[in-house]
Amino acid sequence: MLKISPKAGRVRHALISAALGTVLLSGCAGPGKTFTKSMTLGGKKVSARRLNSGEHLFVTYCSACHGIKGDGKGPASIGLRPPPRNFTQGQFKFAAVASGRLPNDEDLLRIVQKGLHGSAMLPWNDVSGRDIMDIIQYLKTLSPKWADKTPGEPIVPEPDPWGAEREAEAVTRGMKVYHGMAQCLSCHPAYETKETITAASIELSKREAVLRPDAYHAELKDSDYGYKLMPPDFTRDHVRSGETLEDIYRTIASGIGGTAMPTWKGALPDDDIWALSYYVRSLIRIKGTPEADARREKLAQTLAVPSHDDTKAN
Ligand code: HEC
Ligand code: HEC
């Protein structure tokens, strides 16, 4: 079902790339961007041939959005929310490494091949893995971070301790950890009544729950990208880096680089990270249903302060 939009998008940026290609060809020897020597990037030696190939492919496929200089300001970037990544910052969101560390090649390959759902970053499954790898090596020349740092240690999950037979148990445990221990609801919405949240908090953390005034909606957060980010409401918004259990586990365990979303691996036992993944998946499964919307509104009303303006619904 994602088939149509990638095609339409591809045609659009093929046109833009063609326009950009003309600009680049006319200034081919260009601003010092033709590589004559191999470089060490993220601790790995990369040949000049790969970098030149990567540059050419980047200009063709990626620069419409990510910009000729890789600064995220390509002609097709205007109005995109979230905006395309600025590769000169050397900062990435969705890698399976601790937040703030550089991604491994496998991370970048996965992200480029699968795309980021709900953003303009579409799956590039018609470009060969080898070509994408060339582009990835070239991306590393755009930020000085890759010259002196190596990628983070890959975060590898322990085997799923719950399994399909214990799914219901995992979802219940995940619900309690989400609301009563890991404080996911300090940024993301809460999905339970105040009583249930308080019970979970007392059971797992031995303290009363603290709810934000608007606990049933997400709260806008600062990021290192120069714009604020809204944490997703899993019953309403896209989860960008994939919706399988393994994808959700990876996101929660690693956190999201450059954003408020922290790394949970090590901070929570692995069983609980898996339980949270089951719980978040159960929310994603009811995404967009009238029941989920009705439930959100009903819960929100339980927190409405009647004093100021009780004639207006939110
Ligand atoms: C139509 C616009 C568009 C095109 C073309 C495009 N991207 Fe993106 N890309 C985006 C947007 C938007 C984001 C930011 C998504 C976000 O922040 O969640 C992004 C993010 C990324 C990221 C960052 C992932 C992370 O974890 O932070 C990488 C890497 C990336 N793109 C690589 C590429 C490559 C390689 C190409 C060419 C093969 C490409 N993109 C083409 C729009 C585009
Ligand atoms: C301090 C704020 C904060 C906390 C606490 C937090 N998150 Fe997030 N989370 C965010 C933000 C911000 C984003 C969106 C990042 C973006 O748009 O790029 C996000 C995104 C996500 C995503 C979606 C990633 C994707 O692929 O698009 C998942 C899943 C997630 N969080 C789960 C959790 C869980 C589970 C917890 C608790 C264990 C949690 N978060 C705690 C701020 C937070």
What atom of ligand 2 comes closest to residue 238's alpha carbon?
A: 27
Please name each of the domains of the chain with its CATH number: 4-148 (1.10.760.10), 164-303 (1.10.760)
pLDDT reading at 22 higher than 70: no
Range with the lowest mean pLDDT among 10-14, 57-61, 239-243, 252-256?
10-14
The residue behind tokens 């033709």 is 34
Q: Is the CB of residue 172 below 6 angstroms from any atom belonging to ligand 1?
A: no
Q: Is the CB of residue 124 below 6 angstroms from any atom belonging to ligand 1?
A: yes
Q: Which two tokens stand for residue 17?
A: 């790339």
Nearest-CA residue for ligand 2 atom 11 is 231
209 CB burial (10 A radius; 0-12, 13-18, 19+)? buried
Q: Which ligand is nearest to the CA of 111?
A: 1
- Average pLDDT estimate for 234-261: 96
Instruction: Give per-residue pLDDT as tens, 156-186.
Output: 999 999 999 999 999 999 999 999 999 999 9
* Rounded Cα distance, 259 and 247, in Å: 18
Query: Rounded to the nearest whole angstrom, what is the distance from the C-alpha of residue 256 to the centroid of ligand 1?
Result: 15
Q: Which ligand is nearest to the CA of 110?
A: 1
Query: Rounded to the nearest whole angstrom, what is the distance from the C-alpha of residue 72 to the centroid of ligand 2?
Result: 23
* Rounded Cα distance, 20 and 151, in Å: 31
Query: Rounded to the nearest whole angstrom, what is the distance from the C-alpha of residue 232 to the centroid of ligand 2?
Result: 7
Q: Is the CB of residue 133 below 6 angstroms from any atom belonging to ligand 1?
A: no
pLDDT reading at 25 higher than 60: no
User: Which carries the bigger pLDDT value, residue 70 or residue 14?
Assistant: 70
Q: Place 33 in a pLDDT band, splitting at 50, 70 and 90.
A: low
Nearest-CA residue for ligand 1 atom 19 is 84
Q: Place 26 in a pLDDT band, splitting at 50, 70 and 90.
A: very low
pLDDT reading at 50 higher than 70: yes
pLDDT reading at 55 higher than 50: yes
Q: Is the CB of residue 92 below 6 angstroms from any atom belonging to ligand 1?
A: yes
Q: Is the CB of residue 121 below 6 angstroms from any atom belonging to ligand 1?
A: yes
Instruction: Give per-residue pLDDT as tens, 198-212.
Output: 999 999 999 999 899
pLDDT reading at 9 higher than 80: no
- Average pLDDT estimate for 16-25: 47
Residue 255: closest CA among 223, 211, 228? 223
Nearest-CA residue for ligand 1 atom 16 is 82
- Average pLDDT estimate for 56-73: 97
- Average pLDDT estimate for 75-88: 96
pLDDT reading at 21 higher than 70: no
* Average pLDDT, rounded, for the chain: 89
pTM score, two decimals? 0.90
* Rounded Cα distance, 63 and 281, in Å: 34
Q: Which ligand is nearest to the CA of 81?
A: 1
Question: Residue 210 CB: number of other CB atoms within 10 A?
Answer: 12
- Average pLDDT estimate for 232-247: 96
Q: Place 303 in a pLDDT band, splitting at 50, 70 and 90.
A: confident
Nearest-CA residue for ligand 2 atom 16 is 229
Q: Place 247 in a pLDDT band, splitting at 50, 70 and 90.
A: very high
Residue 304 has a pLDDT of: 78
Q: Which two tokens stand for residue 3?
A: 């088939």
Q: Which ligand is nearest to the CA of 20?
A: 1
